[in-house]
Structure 1
Amino acid sequence: MPPLLIGRDSIIEDFEEGIDDGPGAPGRLMRVTGARGVGKTVMLTEFGRIARAHRWEVIDETASNGLAQRLLERLSPTKPAVSLSLKPSVSVAGLGGVSLGEASISSQQMPLTLREALGSRLDGLERKHAGLLITIDEAQAADRNDMIAIATAVQHLIREERDMAFVFAGLPTIASKWLNDDVLTFLRRAQAEQLGDVPLEDVHDALQDTFDDSGITLAGQALDMAVKATEGYPFMIQLVGYHVWRIAYRRQRDVEGIRTVSEDDARQGIDNALTRLGDAVHGPEMDGLSPIDKTYLLAMAQDDGPSSTSAVAKRMGKSLNYANIYRTRLIDAQVIRDMGYGKVDFAIPYLRRYLREHAAYIRMRR
């Protein structure tokens, strides 16, 4: 969790007002989207802090198989849910071969079970004038049955004006995966918050103030280098701030009386931040793309600036219409952005550099 959140005042205010304004407030049902590294998980953590400050209970989950079941177990840890699905185990003589079996959970019954469990937990919380916040991270990875179960249960409780909030976050692909699903229309009503880059003037002030608070001065050319290196990308702001501070602190620990970040400190910190950015953001982003998506990006990486979509198609050895399928996919995923006039550019900072450095490896994997 970064020591200071910048450029996120509006979304934080919307959520906190939702808690204060009571059931039905828009800020209590929210979806947060954005590319990797823009701070989605940080926002969920901040929402949890705000909710706890209001004496609310918070349940944080990350989407993966069994999501609805895990929520149910956290809500009712001593009450196993039961369905009508039977697993035959014993054949009883004299009963015409009728089998007895043990009960298990079925996805069809999960919505009702979750609704009951949530309602029961809210009964206790509301008696204490408190509420319940549920956050789901990486929602694009959720199983459809789990999302149906959760959305159905939450929808009923919100209609009943219960004291709860539900926030789900994920990559931009959740818009096409979940919001266009006829069974999940309820999620379309969630307040949409798309996280993007932070203005550099805000980055400048935040870095300077945070370093001052730690007793180390970041100013002049060193500050300008650090600010420019972040490109306003939230995760890079964290990385640059931390690594520059760490290097400056180590040097000053050995040289008494020096309390200022040098240009060399800034340069080394930025290099370390870039390495970490590749491991934490660029690598996972590439792992989630198809081979042809990667081919499109490698073709773009040959340019020093925005790429012509026709030139990219030619480098791929494909027709413009064929290449445009992957152009659209990558824009929707916020990996690249439309620059107008038939041009595209990378939306994730330093991705061009990463692709150039790892081109041979990416081609070999493909």
Structure 2
Amino acid sequence: MLFPPNPFKPTAGVMPPVLIGRESVSMDFREGLEDGPGAPDRLMLITGPRGSGKTVMLTELGLIAKTHHWEVIDETASNGLCDRLISRIAPEPGRIAGLTIKPSAMGASLGELSIAPALRPSTLRDAMTSRLKTLGKGKGLLITIDETQDASMEDMTAIATAAQHMLRDNAEVAFVFAGLPSLVSDLLNAKVLTFLRHSSIKQLGDVPLDDVRHALSTSIRGAGVTISDDALTLATESTGGYPYMIQLVGYHVWRHARRREKATPSANGNVILIDDVRAGVEQAQAKLGEGVCAPVVNQLSERAVDYLRAMAQDDGPSSTSVVASRMGESMDYANIYRQRLLDKHIIAAPARGRVDFAIPFLREYLRATEPTVSRS
């Protein structure tokens, strides 16, 4: 009997077979569309650490909008965000006030859009209004923006201003922004973006292990594959409730079991053994290190990494004074790297004088790639 196709999808942004622990966000958004203009969940801000499933959540909300016959415009924040939105939304760019086309060598129709910065809010608003007219009655427009923390303040000001006018006019529109946890303080505390304080904030944290266990069991046993309760418990606990790790563990456990079954078929049919789980978890941890942790560490300076390694000696939040002592530096010097790591959203400050890792499993990665150092 052939082992079924692997149901787990540990690829960034790819929809997993089960959207674990996020059902309430989907339900709130769906009700927001059904309740009509003015519903609070038509303006949503989704935050969470890297790998918490923000991009997947945006994809899910886009699918919900499409089932309601809405059009979806999805973007990722980077330079020129507002201009790209206008060019994608406007049904006929040449007829939108404030928008001109800079001709290219291939002709005006293939040129770049040129929008005066002061006119961006009104131009975006006009573009959305024009697009809604082409959609017809009962249809709407959803705009999702991923990695919002990377957007310029100028772009976010223009987008927030246009969104405020559209929602105030009871237009059939919805806006969902997604980004790192610092997005809440960075955006909502900006005076020009006070409007976003009224958004429905959804914080994606770790998934409860009971939900993880149920999802793994559903995906595995629902495909006709056997797994013991002990093996399922080990797989569940190894994820730590981290959404990306859930997919990684599931994928590599499944792959190891399939390869073993192919080499030495079991008399009991397709089965995942506890040894498959142990091997799969080890491979998942290695992939998490390679795909999430290593790129973060490799782009840092040597002393910034020293700061992280000093933190990694603790099982939980670290004292900033102890970290400085472990580095052999003064508090003032160590705080330079503390601030840089905070700015990059690699660490967080849960309390005064304390720091902790903002990226799940980064502590474990640093420990695994550095000889054990005795704690001070």
For the aligned pair, the TM-score class normalised by the smaller chain equals 0.7 to 0.9
Is the 1:248–1:260 contact (alpha carbons within 8 Å) kept by the matching residues of 2? yes
Whether 1:266 and 2:277 are equivalent positions in the alignment is yes
Q: Distance in 1 between matches of 2:70 and 2:344?
A: 34
Tell me which residue corresponds to 2:8: none
Whether 1:23 and 2:26 are equivalent positions in the alignment is no
Q: Tell me whether 56-65 or 342-351 shows the greater mean CA deviation.
A: 342-351
State the one-letter code of the partner of 1:13. M
Is the 1:6–1:206 contact (alpha carbons within 8 Å) kept by the matching residues of 2? yes
Tell me which residue corresponds to 2:125: 115
TM-superposed CA distance for 1:107, in Å, is 1.5
- Distance 1:121-1:196 versus aligned 2 partners, 3 A rule: same
- Distance 1:235-1:61 versus aligned 2 partners, 3 A rule: same
Alignment of 1:131-280 (within 5 A): 131-254=140-263, 255=265, 257=267, 258-280=269-291
Give unpaired runs (5+ residues) of structure 1: 88-101, 361-366
Alignment of 1:96-115 (within 5 A): 104-115=114-125
Identity across matched positions, percent = 56
- Distance 1:160-1:293 versus aligned 2 partners, 3 A rule: farther
SS at match of 1:210: helix
Q: Tell me whether 141-150 or 301-310 shows the greater mean CA deviation.
A: 301-310
State the one-letter code of the partner of 2:67. A
Whether 1:69 and 2:83 are equivalent positions in the alignment is yes
Whether 1:39 and 2:65 are equivalent positions in the alignment is no
Whether 1:350 and 2:361 are equivalent positions in the alignment is yes
Listed one character per residue, the Cα deviations across residues 159-200 of structure 1 (whole Å, up to 9, x for unaligned) are: 000111100001122223322222222122211111100111
Q: Distance in 1 between matches of 2:343 and 2:208?
A: 22
Is the 2:227–2:272 contact (alpha carbons within 8 Å) kept by the matching residues of 1? yes
Is the 2:100–2:113 contact (alpha carbons within 8 Å) kept by the matching residues of 1? yes
SS at match of 1:58: strand
Q: Tell me whether 275-284 or 165-174 shows the greater mean CA deviation.
A: 275-284
Q: What is the number of equivalent residue pairs in this alignment?
A: 345
Q: Distance in 2 between matches of 1:205 and 1:297?
A: 35
- Distance 1:200-1:166 versus aligned 2 partners, 3 A rule: same
Is the 2:99–2:123 contact (alpha carbons within 8 Å) kept by the matching residues of 1? no
Q: Distance in 2 between matches of 1:105 and 1:352?
A: 45
> TM-score of the superposition, structure 1-length normalised?
0.84
Q: Distance in 2 between matches of 1:158 and 1:337?
A: 34
| Structure with the greater alpha carbon radius of gyration | 1
Q: Tell me whether 310-319 or 26-35 shows the greater mean CA deviation.
A: 310-319
Q: Distance in 2 between matches of 1:66 and 1:28?
A: 24
Q: Tell me whether 234-243 or 335-344 shows the greater mean CA deviation.
A: 335-344
TM-superposed CA distance for 1:228, in Å, is 1.2
Tell me which residue corresponds to 1:94: none
TM-superposed CA distance for 1:329, in Å, is 7.2
- Distance 1:20-1:34 versus aligned 2 partners, 3 A rule: same
Q: Distance in 2 between matches of 1:235 and 1:40?
A: 11
TM-superposed CA distance for 1:57, in Å, is 0.8
SS at match of 2:241: coil
> TM-score of the superposition, structure 2-length normalised?
0.82
Is the 1:35–1:333 contact (alpha carbons within 8 Å) kept by the matching residues of 2? no
TM-superposed CA distance for 1:205, in Å, is 1.2
TM-superposed CA distance for 1:242, in Å, is 1.4
- Distance 1:345-1:75 versus aligned 2 partners, 3 A rule: closer
Q: Distance in 1 between matches of 2:272 and 2:101?
A: 67
TM-superposed CA distance for 1:309, in Å, is 3.5
Q: Distance in 2 between matches of 1:141 and 1:358?
A: 30
State the one-letter code of the partner of 1:190. S
State the one-letter code of the partner of 1:105. I
